């Protein structure tokens, strides 16, 4: 189980490949992966960039708490969360959530749980930069 | 006998305040901390708060030395 707040751009599929080396080969039959990427538009406006703020300490605690909760609730071999902070450009990865399990149900359900908990309660805030200035994103869209 | 108070994101910009200290008083709640620090600014409807980095309600009482944080709805992921 690993969580990380990353201040620089990252390549999610490379991270996935690197992290997976620590999980015993032959044990996992299912890997569920979610990658969230910055879009170049929101609410009908072109977005040129974004700044992501977090609450150092609380954010890490929260991501660890939901990772532990997922490991209790489902049969998992491992999980990984990486989330960006700082300045982002369109097409930059924002978040990677990956879950390894023997079977797909646990992997799908746990990854969904982690993403929904992260979106609804992990203390991160997005500020968008438009041609005309900047604005805070006021809320996340419902995931289900 | 103080509390550390922190604000994040749009709330920090609106109040023009990132963090500060306030005197702790016996039996103080999170809402009273807000009123003390913001000079009774009306509570935003969607305000979130945490004590020592755990979500709490406005009615939660605080202890000397606690870190109290206020912030708007979260928008990560």
Tell whether B50 lies on the interface with A, counting CB pairs under 8 A: yes
Indicate the pairing of strand A93-101 with strand A41-42. unpaired
Nearest to B77 by CA among A49, A118, A48, A42: A118
CB contact under 8 A, A125 and B69: no
Give B46's contacts in chain A (Cβ within 8 Å): 139
Partner residue opposite A122 with nearest CB, options B13, B72, B76: B76
Tell whether A121 lies on the interface with B, counting CB pairs under 8 A: yes
Nearest residue on chain B to A141, alpha-carbon basis: B75
Cβ proximity of A3 and A85 under 8 Å:
no
Minimal C-alpha gap between A107 and chain B (Å): 19
Partner residue opposite A36 with nearest CB, options B69, B71, B77: B77
ipTM above 0.90, yes or no: yes
Partner residue opposite A125 with nearest CB, options B9, B50, B55: B9
Percent of chain A scored above 90 by pLDDT? Answer: 94
Condensed to tens digits (0 to 9), the pLDDT of residues A79-88 reads 999 999 999 9
Can you tell me whether residue B73 is helix, strand or coil? coil
The pLDDT averaged over each successive group of 10 residues in chain B (77 residues) is 97 97 96 96 95 98 98 97
Q: How many CB pairs under 8 A join A and B?
A: 73
Nearest to A37 by CA among A104, A82, A67, A5: A82
Written as six digits, the tokens of B18 are 């990132």
Ordered by where they begin, the domains of chain A are 2-21+29-37+52-124 (3.90.1170.40)
Query: A144 falls in which pLDDT band (50, 70, 90)?
Result: confident
Q: E strands along B8-63, which residues?
A: 19-23, 48-51, 54-56
CB contact under 8 A, B8 and A55: yes
Ordered by where they begin, the domains of chain B are 2-71 (3.10.20.30)
The pLDDT value given to residue B7: 98
CB contact under 8 A, A126 and B75: yes
CB contact under 8 A, A119 and B76: yes
Query: A138 forms bridges with which residues in the sheet?
Result: none
């Amino acid at each position: 189980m690993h969580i990380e707040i990353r201040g620089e751009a990252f390549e999610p599929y490379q991270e996935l490949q690197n992290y997976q080396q620590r999980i015993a080969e032959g044990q996992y039959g299912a890997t569920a992966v979610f990658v969230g990427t910055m879009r170049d538009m929101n609410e009908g406006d072109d977005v040129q960039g974004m700044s992501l703020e977090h609450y150092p300490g609380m954010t890490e605690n929260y991501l660890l708490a939901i990772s532990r909760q997922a490991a209790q609730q489902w049969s998992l071999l491992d999980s990984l969360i990486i989330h960006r902070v700082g300045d982002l450009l369109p097409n930059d990865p924002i978040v990677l959530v990956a879950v390894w399990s023997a079977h797909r149900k646990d992997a799908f359900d746990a990854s969904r749980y982690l993403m929904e908990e992260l979106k609804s309660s992990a203390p991160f805030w997005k500020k968008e930069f438009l041609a005309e200035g900047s604005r805070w994103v006021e809320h996340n869209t419902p995931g289900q | 006998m103080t509390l550390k108070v922190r604000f994040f994101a749009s709330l920090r910009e609106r109040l023009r305040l990132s963090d500060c200290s306030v005197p702790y008083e016996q039996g103080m709640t999170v809402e009273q901390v807000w009123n003390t620090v913001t000079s009774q600014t009306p509570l935003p409807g969607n305000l979130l708060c945490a004590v020592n980095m755990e979500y709490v309600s406005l009615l939660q009482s605080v202890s000397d030395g606690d870190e109290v944080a206020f912030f708007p709805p979260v928008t990560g992921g």
